[in-house]
Amino acid sequence: MTPLALAPANARYPARLRERLGDAAPAQLTSLGNFDLLTLPKTGLFCSARCPGHIILPAYDQAARWRDAGRCIISGFHSPVEQECLRILLRGTQPIILCPARALPQRIPAEWRPALADGRLLILSAFAAAEKRITTELATRRNTIVAALADEVCFAHITPGGQAERLTHRLTAWRVPFTTL
């Protein structure tokens, strides 16, 4: 499978990124998988890395409900709770958009391959090939892009004063509905 690179001038570049991010929209997106998944209604999933224990099971239950309902989920799937939600979603047949906070991975994990082959996974990166390590700055940028692409957002947990809380202010400005578990 060959990665697809899109600049903002390309007709397939998501208009929502230009609308919501303006000049801050990524100069290029690189993707692997079914790019058409971006046209589906998408629920963004976020969970702070420091998540209280009582949130974990409700987050997994919500992921299973989305899986069973066939809902397209977009996330970085980086925090431990998000990673487990990805494992739950990969056991279903619904679409998934995975946005790493770095360049596209050189090797695709074995558990992602069936979803890629079935056309229900899109790996989408806004970062140059040189960005091989996740940093706080890249994660913040990635989360903004995920939020900008989402039709609605679910926060499993928001740490007061943290990155997720700041993201809610953008969502409010964009009039993107969001909930917390």
pLDDT digits (tens, 9 = 90+) for 68-123: 999 999 999 999 999 999 999 999 999 999 999 999 998 999 999 999 999 999 99
Cα dihedral sign, 94-47-128-131: negative
Residue 157 predicted with pLDDT over 90: no
Confidence category of residue 48, pLDDT binned at 50, 70, 90:
confident
Average pLDDT over residues 34-45: 97
The two three-digit tokens of residue 95, written as one number: 């679409």
Distance in angstroms (rounded) separating the CA atoms of residues 62 and 120: 19
Phi and psi of 167, rounded to 5°? -65, -30
Architecture field, domain 25-180: 3-Layer(aba) Sandwich (3.40)
pLDDT tens for each residue of 96-106 = 999 999 999 98
**Percent of the chain clearing pLDDT 90 (strictly above):** 85
**Packing angle of the helix pair 136-149, 163-174 (nearest 10 deg):** 30
The two three-digit tokens of residue 171, written as one number: 């969502």
